[in-house]
Structure 1
Amino acid sequence: MAGSSAEQSKGRRTQPPWTPPAGTEPCKLRLYNSLTRNKDVFVPQNGRRVTWYCCGPTVYDASHMGHARSYISFDILRRVLRDYFQFDVFYCMNITDIDDKIIRRARQNHLFEQYREQRPRPAQLLQDVRTALEPLAVKLRETADPDKKQMLERMQRAVQVAAEPLEEALRSDLAAEEVDRRAQALLEEARDVLSDWLDAALGSGVTDNSIFSELPRFWEAEFHRDMAALNVLPPDVLTRVSEYVPEIVRFVQKIVDNGYGYVSNGSVYFDTAKFASSEGHSYGKLVPEAVGDQQALQEGEGDLSVSAERLSEKRSPNDFALWKASKPGEPSWPCPWGKGRPGWHIECSAMAGTLLGASMDIHGGGFDLRFPHHDNELAQSEAHFENDCWVRYFLHTGHLTIAGCKMSKSLKNFITIKDALRRHSARQLRLAFLMHAWKDTLDYSSNTMESALQYEKFMNEFFLNVKDLLRAPVDVTGQFEKWEEEEAALNESFYDKKTAVHEALCDNVDTRTVLEEMRALVSQCNLYMAARKAARRRPNRVLLESIARYLTHLLQIFGAIEEESSLGFPVGGPGSSLNLEGAVMPYLQALAEFRAGVRTIARERHVPEVLQLSDALRDDILPELGVRLEDHEGLPTVVKLVDRETLLREREEKKRAEEEKRRKKEEAARKRQEQEAAKLAKMKIPPSEMFLSEGDKRKLFEAQQKLHAEYLQTAPCGGAP
């Protein structure tokens, strides 16, 4: 037996060893880190858990497109990290409800409303406005910034123009009602000028803390409504400065105890020189070249906190306030150093430190916050925790410009989110942001939005065409068709695009490239469907549905498709509320077939009234319900569920195009008539009369002679006038 076994073993051929297939290592997510100014591989400190703090808004006015730039961009990044890369993201955001801007605006609003309630006589109002314009004129003379100067000039001129009708009314002794109307118009136009004047004179007398809390509470609520309208996910935790004053006081005290803060005249300042000279610490990590920029530092301190007295309290002009002793007309809280209020920079450090600890994975904010705000945050937090890495990755969104111009709330050059949403949908705004890198400047303009609208329409038409294809009845086996070379090629391209999308998302979440790859994939699908249609062969249903669902998934990850959306493919099952199309389409299809039959009979029997009713159903009635019918000669009517606003906009555009076509046709006919009339008038002139006062213009004479002879031959009665 053993010998036999050995013989068998000797005769058996040796099998080659199995080797794993050669492959490339998958790409890793890299994020642009402002701390290193490089794209760094993203590695959270605690496995898949990501701690993220985002600087929230200072709530004293309406949220604008600059806010949308940051919070939509961070929402996209957050969704991609959570839903694509499968990180467990804990997202914390603050609300700044104690700030110099809020204090000043709250006082101004309060004092202006008091002034309005006093109902000043028109003559007194006019005098007050003239008085209020005097400090504005001084500010205008002292302003070197050309943009600010232009803004102040516009304000001054607008108030002066509004004052002229009231001055005339008082001189002319007009009726009291007309005088009051003009006075109210001036009061509204001069609101900002009067508010500044009233605050300068009476602001120190405003002492009720509730006045300083009502304003931010109102605007915070508006901010949350705007974010919800933009489909921005709410934070996992929201912190308000007013609710964290005790934590801020303790945080500041620890900095003082560690030797990096000092008390001066009831305020507490951060000692930048002491911190920078300490081993293991450095000041100005994000923008070292900006250290010492006094203009930026003073803007960070706030308008109410920059004075000769406050500057004299500092050991160095580079030091910044951790805690501010409250002056008359400012809210205050008790603390070991006397009544005061938090500085701007300290709030984020204290609140983030309380919730996220001594080190976080991601800190986000707008590009303009790098210095001094975020550099000061880093310094004071590392001074508090005695470490050198409070933030691992600093992400800063790019600026937003408006038609190429700098957006600035202080210069009154901004568009509110509510105004933007009146012009475009939240999806269209988000697509515009997705078409630009999150860290680069984005220009909000008609061209930018037109690109977003065209992209939305392009994608939606693809989804609608695939849905129409899938509605064609087939039996169970008919769903699976033989693949030819065209299907294999499209499927290979599909996988190539998925690889390209993944690589783009790994490369600093490059959504611009992702959208381009998605567009290219749809273009290939459209060519495939067109070729199949030309060959009178049905496109492969399973392959196209798979591609459509993948594209829908990407748009959902980016937040461009809400749960209840007509764009893309439904994600719910047959019983889901999302399956609206499945519920209504059989009825719409029956209606379309009935209409097609009626139109055929109406054409055969020449009944234009019925054709008009059929067109009205297609063009006027169904679009109001979000239904588009597409008639194709010799083919069944295509039924598509489309967003109602999109259909109404298409209808208006079609009407405008038809009106423009009609206008151009009428204009062309009018020009032809004018040309023919001019030619006829010229033909009537005998050559001898035309050139009586001319010199020797033989060629012109002969041409006119020929033209006139032609007229004499064709005109009735021998051309007699």
Structure 2
Amino acid sequence: MAQLKVHNSLTPGGTVPFLPLEEGKVSWYACGPTVYDHSHLGHARNYVSTDIIRRIMRDYFGYQVKFVMNITDVDDKIILKARRAKLLELEKSKTYTEPELAKLAATAFQSYAEGNLPELLKDGSKLSPRNYAERRDAAYGKVLAGGTLNGEGKPGDAEAKMKMHLSNLTAASQAIQENKVFGGADEVLLPYLDSLYKDSIDGKDHTIFTKVTQYWEAQFMDDMDNLNVMRPDYITRVTTYVPQIVTFVDMIVEKGFAYEADGSVYFDIAAFEKAGNPYARLCPNSRNDKALQEEGEGSLSKNLGGKRGPCDFALWKKSKAGEPVWPSPWGEGRPGWHIECSVMASDILGSQMDIHSGGIDLAFPHHDNELAQSEAYYCSHGQVHNWVKYFFHMGHLSISGSKMSKSLKNFQTIKDALKNDYTPRAMRIVFLMGRWNDGVEISPDMRKQAEGWETTINNFFTNTKSLIMQSKSAEEGLKTLSINGKSGGLHETLEKAQSEMQSALTDSFDTPRAMRILAEIVRDANKHDSEPGSATDITGLKSIARWITKMVGIFGLDANASPPYEGLGWTNTASNAHLSTKEIVEPYVKVYQSVNSEVERLALHSDSLDALMAEDVDTKFSGLEASGTKDSEALAMPYLIAVSKIRDELRRIAPNSESKKQILTLSDRIRDNDLTDLGVYLDDRSVDQGALIKFVPKAELLAQREEKAAKEREKTAQKEKARLERERIELEKAEKAKLSPMDMFKDDRFSAWDDKGLPTKTKEGEDVPKSALKKLGKEWERQNKLHQEWKAKSG
């Protein structure tokens, strides 16, 4: 097998061989979510892509993977979310007069604008919900129209943030004017209430915060289950690791790589580098990026002082009023963001791990700080310690040029996406079509491309299963066959695809190439099957279909399948365990009997048709029943094949039969009604080939039937509309024809006429111009012709 190579963020510039610490085993820590809001498509991109690689490593390369993921259930965002929710709950319990509530809302409205959108207040006058819209359009009209604030370049995160704040103020403005402050204006009310009452929150009452995080963690896990993301082998939570975090930090202090300042503990980057350790190994160019450093420290930590170096970061934070607290040697406080992963990963995986993964936006400062503090903890006697061998960073998802994030509120939740736009499989296909470490831009083409790929695979599975079941032995066709079975020309096609797949997946899990390989082998198999005069290579098709089934299973595209993925096609979840075999086939038997009755009623006197109707279908079914199978499709095949053959014969004799109309009506009814209602589609081929029986989800067939019926109704309606329009025109024409040409110009436009009724004088008494007389004469001739025809018809 070719050597697996991977993109490793620690060694940029290409792929490197993947050589785990222990042969055949992989230790892996993935940064999990910060749980305080809905999970969005950006999270789906990260965790689905991670899941794809994890599955490939386990099910394709055969590694034993130990997978750990953390849940961040305490950080600045969570503290703010939980604290503000509690304060809002308390505020709603108060009794307010209408003027008091209006004053509170107006003050909060002004405060929110001052803090986030100062352009609204440039003229110095007071902002109010009533004058807000006018000022908004004047100050931020360009941004709202899709431009940038300075009129240059493309909009990015800054513009997305402005739009979020503007959206909050717009909603609040309307709500306040409608006296619906609570509910409609919460987004501007919450930060104001927090500024007033945050000190009243008891930091020792951790339930204020865990109540929020436990709810959102459950929502996240539900989203992951719906996306067929495998659960981690180990889940760790920060709040259950605080004592271990304190011990870990204390060791770093003892080694001289951290220091206490005013109740907080900071990592000493200068001391770390002085000891020969590199810092910011992942993103050396970002080490002095103040904006990223502040984001990493959190919005509540801006005023914590005492740092020796500007890049030093907090391992332990002194808790301010309104923040959760835990005891420590440095006083009451809480863990820094980065330290949590170091402690939890080390607790499960030890002093070294093979893989650490997360979104690309975590590379700096989060992962760089993780590396530094962990390697400071483990290094000894001046020896540099490598904590992580391979860093995998998933490319982020963007929308309109801006990273999709909860803080920017420019996201589509996973729940909404699955409800309105994607199936779980379609979403995974989209991510498979992009490299895991590249960014993905949301676009309509993404879904269209994914839908096309899925349709190709669906059709191939359906057609292959149909051909197998209609081959000489349906029972034999359903038995397990090695995916490497010899099968003529298609065997070489399969071997080539398998070799290419090996090459793609060993090249740092190149799933876009892998998806193309699967689509191409389907194309080649279809081309082989459709070549004129060639016999269908059932064995070859079956081998290819089973290999594709295995690969889509490995990629996690079949939520109902499990390793080693040895079936054929998508897993059928319908359970017939509670039914007898006769109960399973009863609907198909009824259709078979109904078709026989209808054909007998037609009395067609066809020897070939009589022979088909005399076949002992029940005996064929009994043979399958005796085999012990509960596969509804296999059990139904004797009756479906009999119905299909009878219908094929009806189609053959119809053109020369006196009952042609009745035969074709029955043929259509069998296909469009009887079998559609069973989730069976007859794909009509040439009369000699006969129809191909396909099992298709009933809902899909019914939707297609309704779409076809709707088109017919629309066609009929258009015909009726056209008929009515023709009748209207004919009536108008007939009504016009009743008018004698002698009278057609006798109106106030003229004042004199000749003996034919043609005008000679205008209403002013002047002669009608010759040019006008010529035109009027032509009109007179046309009307005279119409009038004479009408007189002749009316007698």
Cα displacement (A) at 1:135: 1.0
Corresponding position of 1:640 = 694
Corresponding position of 2:342 = 349
Partner secondary structure for residue 46 of structure 1: coil
Query: Match of 2:221, as an amino acid?
Result: H
Identify which of 117, 136, 153 aligns with 2:93: 117
Q: Is the 8 A contact 2:357 2:392 kept in 1?
A: yes
Q: Mapping of 1:90-239 within 5 angstroms?
A: 90-118=66-94, 120-142=96-118, 145-166=158-179, 183=180, 186-207=181-202, 208-239=205-236
Identify which of 400, 407, 410 aligns with 1:410: 407
Query: Match of 2:4, as an amino acid?
Result: L
Identify which of 340, 346, 352 aligns with 1:359: 352
Query: Match of 1:639, as an amino acid?
Result: I
Q: Is the 8 A contact 2:36 2:81 kept in 1?
A: yes
Q: Is the 8 A contact 1:66 1:407 kept in 2?
A: yes
Cα displacement (A) at 1:638: 3.5
Corresponding position of 1:178 = none
Identify which of 27, 46, 49 aligns with 1:51: 27
Query: Match of 1:135, as an amino acid?
Result: S
For 2:453 and 2:367, the matched residues in 1 are separated by 36
Q: For the structure 1 residues 299 and 640, does the alpha-carbon distance in structure 2 shift closer, same or farther, using more than 3 Å as the test?
A: same
For 1:594 and 1:488, the matched residues in 2 are separated by 32
Partner secondary structure for residue 503 of structure 1: helix
Q: Is the 8 A contact 1:549 1:569 kept in 2?
A: no
For 2:527 and 2:541, the matched residues in 1 are separated by 12
Cα displacement (A) at 1:292: 1.1
Corresponding position of 2:316 = 323
For 1:150 and 1:204, the matched residues in 2 are separated by 31
Corresponding position of 1:32 = 7
Q: Is the 8 A contact 2:426 2:451 kept in 1?
A: yes
Corresponding position of 1:177 = none
Q: Is the 8 A contact 2:487 2:539 kept in 1?
A: no
TM-score, normalised relative to structure 1: 0.81
Q: For the structure 1 residues 711 and 47, does the alpha-carbon distance in structure 2 shift closer, same or farther, using more than 3 Å as the test?
A: farther
Corresponding position of 2:582 = none
The percentage of counterpart residues that share the same residue type is 38
Q: Is the 8 A contact 2:52 2:555 kept in 1?
A: yes
Query: Match of 1:156, as an amino acid?
Result: L
Q: Is the 8 A contact 1:106 1:215 kept in 2?
A: yes
Q: Is the 8 A contact 2:468 2:474 kept in 1?
A: no
Query: Match of 1:193, as an amino acid?
Result: V
- Please provide the CA RMSD for this pair: 4.0
Query: Match of 1:155, as an amino acid?
Result: N
Deviations 1:195-224 (A, max 9, x none): 222112112211122111111111111111
Cα displacement (A) at 1:125: 3.1
Corresponding position of 2:444 = 446
Q: Is the 8 A contact 2:228 2:556 kept in 1?
A: yes
Q: Is the 8 A contact 2:681 2:695 kept in 1?
A: yes
Q: For the structure 1 residues 583 and 205, does the alpha-carbon distance in structure 2 shift closer, same or farther, using more than 3 Å as the test?
A: same
Corresponding position of 2:325 = 332
State how many pairs are aligned.
Answer: 656
Q: Is the 8 A contact 1:618 1:629 kept in 2?
A: no
Report 1 or 2 for greater relative contact order, CA contacts < 8 Å, sequence distance ≥ 6.
Answer: 1
2:260 is the alignment partner of 1:263: yes
Query: Match of 1:622, as an amino acid?
Result: L
Partner secondary structure for residue 178 of structure 2: helix
Q: Is the 8 A contact 2:395 2:437 kept in 1?
A: yes
Q: For the structure 1 residues 614 and 266, does the alpha-carbon distance in structure 2 shift closer, same or farther, using more than 3 Å as the test?
A: same
Deviations 1:25-58 (A, max 9, x none): x532111111111211111111111111100000
For 1:502 and 1:530, the matched residues in 2 are separated by 28
Corresponding position of 1:490 = 490
Cα displacement (A) at 1:615: 5.8
Deviations 1:236-293 (A, max 9, x none): 11111011111111111111111110001111001112222321x1111111111111
Corresponding position of 1:297 = 293
2:40 is the alignment partner of 1:64: yes
Q: Mapping of 1:82-97 within 5 angstroms?
A: 82-97=58-73
For 1:706 and 1:496, the matched residues in 2 are separated by 79
Cα displacement (A) at 1:582: 2.8
Structure 1 spans left out of the alignment, 5+ residues: 1-25, 167-182, 481-485
Q: Is the 8 A contact 1:79 1:559 kept in 2?
A: yes
Q: Mapping of 1:385-464 within 5 angstroms?
A: 385-386=378-379, 387-402=384-399, 405-423=402-420, 424-464=422-462
Q: For the structure 1 residues 213 and 606, does the alpha-carbon distance in structure 2 shift closer, same or farther, using more than 3 Å as the test?
A: same
Corresponding position of 1:519 = 519
Cα displacement (A) at 1:165: 3.1
For 1:629 and 1:327, the matched residues in 2 are separated by 71
TM-score, normalised relative to structure 2: 0.74
Cα displacement (A) at 1:444: 3.1
For 2:699 and 2:264, the matched residues in 1 are separated by 56
Cα displacement (A) at 1:706: 8.0
* Structure 1, 371-380 or 196-205: larger mean CA deviation: 196-205
Q: For the structure 1 residues 140 and 677, does the alpha-carbon distance in structure 2 shift closer, same or farther, using more than 3 Å as the test?
A: farther
Cα displacement (A) at 1:476: 10
For 1:388 and 1:380, the matched residues in 2 are separated by 11
Query: Match of 2:298, as an amino acid?
Result: G
Q: For the structure 1 residues 707 and 615, does the alpha-carbon distance in structure 2 shift closer, same or farther, using more than 3 Å as the test?
A: farther
For 2:644 and 2:344, the matched residues in 1 are separated by 64
Q: Is the 8 A contact 2:31 2:70 kept in 1?
A: yes
Query: Match of 1:586, as an amino acid?
Result: L
For 1:704 and 1:342, the matched residues in 2 are separated by 98
For 1:652 and 1:402, the matched residues in 2 are separated by 35
For 2:400 and 2:719, the matched residues in 1 are separated by 34
2:597 is the alignment partner of 1:621: no
Q: Is the 8 A contact 1:593 1:637 kept in 2?
A: no
Cα displacement (A) at 1:669: 7.9
Q: For the structure 1 residues 82 and 487, does the alpha-carbon distance in structure 2 shift closer, same or farther, using more than 3 Å as the test?
A: closer
Partner secondary structure for residue 606 of structure 1: helix
* Structure 1, 461-470 or 667-676: larger mean CA deviation: 667-676
Q: Is the 8 A contact 2:273 2:279 kept in 1?
A: yes
* Structure 1, 436-445 or 603-612: larger mean CA deviation: 603-612
Identify which of 556, 560, 571 aligns with 1:559: 556
Q: For the structure 1 residues 680 and 319, does the alpha-carbon distance in structure 2 shift closer, same or farther, using more than 3 Å as the test?
A: farther
For 1:320 and 1:703, the matched residues in 2 are separated by 94
